[in-house]
Structure 1
Amino acid sequence: MSGRLSIAVVGPAFPYKGGGAHHTTELAHRLAAAGHDVVIESWRAQYPGFLYPGQQTISEPEGEPFPATRRRLDWRRPDGWWRVGRSLRGRDLVVLAVLSPVQVPSYLGILAGLRRGAPVVALCHNVLPHERKAYDEPLMRRLLRRVDGVLVHTGEQAELARGLTRRPVSVAEMPAHLPVSAAAAAGDREVRRRLLFFGIVRPYKGLDVLLRALAEGPGDVGLTVAGEFWGGLDETRGLIRSLGLESRVELRPGYVPAAEVPELFAAADALVLPYRTATASQNVWMAYEHGLPVIATDVGGFADQVRDGVDGLICAPDDVASLAKALRRFYEPGEPERLRSGVRPVDHGPVWAAYLDALTGAAR
């Protein structure tokens, strides 16, 4: 596809919070800046509360809302899914932002209304969830077999998608879609002897591994854990007590507004991503915008984002000893300063250009 296109992006947008809403909104802005006619089809109500235990929306958008955003979708109104799909007939491209298999029924309703009236790309943030349920794979298989193309962010995800559909699968690195505060100054370069775990806390993110590694690592290093807990908060507190880390670990459960992010990053020496599994993470780019090195496990795209020994450290996933060794290595004399000096914010202009090309070409 080339030239000016009429594009509809279906997915969460402001005032929804989190990476999905940021990505959908920034994608629409970038497509419009490239000369395309763009609309976002977003949600009045996206999920029932029991499927999303965190806070779904926030009162103040953490970026510039996209002006052509329509909120006509409601998980309680399947008839509305069909009507939205019908209204998108004749578009040059429809992009379905797939964050969870829970969205699949509504997307199938949109496809039923669309009835091949426009090429459709499934933009999969995760082809399958990190923590899977029995219905996830059948739902995703059904969706991916109904679209014209699939766009994913890593080669590993591409292989997963190709196991579910014969439709064309494209790969493009996910560019940054950071909240507006992420470009703030990172503060002085004093070594704080404190690490940061940031974002929604779920089992696949390996906070328990990090706590055990902290107990085996340098004894004077602290940790701040800031983010919503999707269960397990009491268990985490119990683990902290059992490891004798009460004086070294600060828990800040709950959503972190964008205005509070700069202070959190300025108070830490490094961001730690001890994930058991991953695709890609905006948190790496956020850390670099704040001048922080990243200690991450070798999963998903982390080893491509983090240059081991240059602007961060890479260790084995789900391995307490490997992570503890990385923490000790990080705090060797002069290492925090040296790794921080290697951090550079990434120029995401070329990454976005390649991403838009891959997206607009994915339905060919």
Structure 2
Amino acid sequence: MKMRVLHIICFTGNSGLTDYALSLHRELSTRFSSTLLTNRNFPGNESGVHKFFGRTRNYPLSLPSFLLRELFWRRPEVLVFQSWLKFPLLESVAVRCLRLGGGKLVLTVHDTLPHYPKPWSRLSVRSYFSAFDGLVVHSQVSADTVRKLGYNGKISIIPHGSYSLFNKGRLGRDEARAKLGIAEDIFVVLFFGHVDERKGCVEFVHAARVFSPAEAVFIVAGSPDFGAIAAREFRKEVLAPSVKAMLGRVPQDEVETLFRAADLVALPYREGSTSGVFKLAVEFGVPVVCTDVGDLGDAVRQGTAFGIPAGPDIASNLSRAIRRMIDEPQLRAVYAARMVEERTRTSWTVVGEQYASFINSIL
């Protein structure tokens, strides 16, 4: 039986969004004739991955050739977009043009609104969402938000798949700690990903100050992206002896080292929709302490993650939660076991089956 032709569209080539798109492509390739169209900065080469889009700052220049390619040459039966990139209104025009080719259009919603919304953001995002035949969201919270924005089409709640592509199985805990120069008996708390204000980087380093370096190491690993005030606060606090800063993009091969070494992952987000870092913690079975925002709120309510309230006292609530995790190893073991259960629930085999079912319901 001939497989239906499906294209996955991801404008970025070296980001968490790309990691998700690649995992989805690998899984859907067993059910569709799948191609992933991504950016030219995608590292390496892989079957079915086409490096098409130019630099993200100039990606609108790639849209005309992309439309011609999809409408008159490739003509896929389904296109699955991975969120928007920068300009939802512009991208909604491009998506509507693709309707002329007769293919069905699906969007994976990773963020229901921009992280720093403008007065017109709700209108532009609503226009973008309405261009699609169906939306995939990762939680009931996101589904409710999309409905409130005025989307009336089909919605499927499909969990965010775990990031198995980072789990090489090459390192144990002791080896990972040796690489990082951390003693085996020190408790390690990891803050990973974009180091910015909305993800609570300042609150994280504030929480670290109440711990001595003899009992806990707080690792901050990722590319910094914050305003001037937060930058000053962060730089002042990051000098605390218990903080180990590894600022800059983390190479893919080093991700496993950090998560194998960690006893706990902290996600003290001020706001957000979806957390790819949470899915990395799931993959490596590391317990998580997080605020109850966006999809993380679902994880807290389901008992998968240890929750703290989002609000003005994030730092103090985080330090108290970490203290409990240090003092109560049995509690830590409970949450580690729940992460292993979550990994089974969000395996790409399960996620791929749900995507395929939703796509076929639209065709």
TM-score interval (norm. to shorter): 0.7 to 0.9
Where in structure 2 are the equivalents of 1:263-302 lying within 5 Å?
263-302=257-296
Structure 2 CA distance for partners of 1:3 and 1:177, relative to 1, 3 Å = farther
CA distance, structure 1, for counterparts of residue 113 and residue 282 of structure 2: 28
- Rate the CA distance shift 1:43–1:267 in 2: closer, same or farther, 3 A: closer
Is the 8 Å Cα contact of residues 202 and 230 (structure 2) preserved in structure 1?
no
Larger CA deviation: 269-278 vs 87-96:
87-96
Structure 1 residue 222: Cα displacement: 2.6
Alignment-derived partner of residue 118 in structure 1 = 103
Deviation at 1:197, TM superposition (A): 0.4
Q: Which residue of 2 aligns with 1:50?
A: none
% identical equivalent positions? 21
Structure-1 residue corresponding to 2:181: none
Deviation at 1:284, TM superposition (A): 2.6
SS of residue paired to 2:115: coil
Distance (Å, rounded) in 1 between the aligned partners of 2:192 and 2:272: 15
Task: Pick the aligned partner of 2:133 from 125, 145, 148.
Answer: 148
CA distance in 2, matches of 1:88, 1:147: 21
Name which of 37, 44, 48 aligns with 1:41.
37
Q: Give the SS at the match of 2:340.
A: coil
CA offsets per residue over residues 177-213 of structure 1, 9 Å max, x none? 3433454444249442331100012222111222222
Q: Is the 8 A contact 1:152 1:169 kept in 2?
A: yes
Aligned mate of 1:92, from 56, 67, 77: 77
CA distance in 1, matches of 2:334, 2:235: 28
Residue matched to 2:248:
254
| CA shift in 2, pair 1:138/1:340, >3 Å | closer
Do 1:72 and 1:84's aligned partners in 2 also have CA atoms closer than 8 Å? no
The structure in which a higher percent of residues are helix is 2
Question: Which sections of structure 1, spanning at least 5 residues, go unmatched?
Answer: 45-56
Q: Contact between 1:271 and 1:292, CA under 8 Å: does it hold in 2?
A: yes
Shift of the 136–80 alpha-carbon distance from structure 1 to 2, 3 Å rule, reads: farther
Contact 1:104 1:140 in 2 (8 A): yes
2:22 alignment partner in structure 1: 25
Measured in 1, the distance between the counterparts of 2:357 and 2:272 equals 22
Q: In the superposition, relative to structure 1, how do residues 202 and 146 fare at CA in structure 2: closer, same or farther (>3 Å)?
A: same
The corresponding residue for 2:4 is: 5
Aligned counterpart, 2:113: 128
Does structure 1 retain, via aligned residues, the 8 Å contact 2:273–2:293?
yes
User: What is the CA–CA distance in structure 2 between the aligned matches of 1:341 and 1:142, rounded to whole Å?
Assistant: 41
2:306 corresponds in structure 1 to 313
Which residue number in structure 1 is paired with residue 65 of structure 2? Answer: 80
Q: Following the alignment from structure 2 to structure 1, what is the Cα–Cα distance between the partners of residues 278 and 239?
A: 26
Give, in whole Å, the separation in 2 of the partners of 1:101 and 1:136: 11
The worse-fitting range, judged by mean Cα deviation, of 147-156 and 281-290 is 281-290
TM-score (norm 1): 0.81
Q: What is the distance in 2 between the residues matched to 1:3 and 1:306?
A: 43
For 1:54, the equivalent position in structure 2 comes to none
Structure 1 pair 161/317, CA: closer, same or farther in 2 (3 Å)? same
Amino acid at match of 1:40: L
Specify the code of the residue in structure 2 equivalent to 1:91.
P
Q: What residue ranges of structure 2 are gaps of 5+ in the alignment? A: 178-183
- 1:53 corresponds in structure 2 to none
Residue 18 of structure 1: how far off its partner (Å): 1.8
Q: Secondary structure at the match of 2:38?
A: strand
C-alpha distance in 1 between matches for 2:212 and 2:305:
17
**Cross-structure match for 1:331:** 326
Task: Output the CA distance in 1 between the equivalents of 2:361 and 2:198.
Answer: 30
RMSD: 3.2
**Which has the larger displacement, 106-115 or 125-134?**
106-115
Deviation, structure 1 residue 30:
1.1
1:299 and 1:3 map into 2 onto residues whose CA distance is 43
Q: Give 3-state SS (helix, strand or coil) of 1:179's partner.
A: helix
What is residue 165 of structure 2 aligned with on the other side? 179
**d(CA) in 2 for partners of 1:341, 1:125:** 25
CA deviations over 1:266-300 (Å, ceiling 9, x no partner): 33321111112233323233224334222222222
Shift in CA distance, 251/124, structure 1 to aligned 2, threshold 3 Å: same
Aligned twin of 1:47: none
Residue 164 of structure 1 corresponds to: 150
**Greater mean alpha carbon deviation, residues 191-200 or residues 102-111:** 102-111
Q: List per-residue Cα deviations over 1:323-352 (Å, max 9, x = no partner).
A: 222011111154586357635272314532
Equivalent residue, structure 1, for 2:180: none
Matched AA of 2:322: L
Which amino acid counterpart does residue 4 of structure 1 have in structure 2?
M
1:217/1:301 Cα in 2 relative to 1: closer, same or farther (>3 Å)? farther
Deviation at 1:68, TM superposition (A): 4.5
Q: Is 1:344 paired with 2:355?
A: no
| Cα gap change, 1:272 to 1:341, in 2 (>3 Å) | closer
Following TM superposition, by how much is the alpha carbon of 1:357 offset from its aligned partner in structure 2, in angstroms?
3.2
The change in CA–CA distance for 1:79 and 1:301 in structure 2 (over 3 A counts) is closer
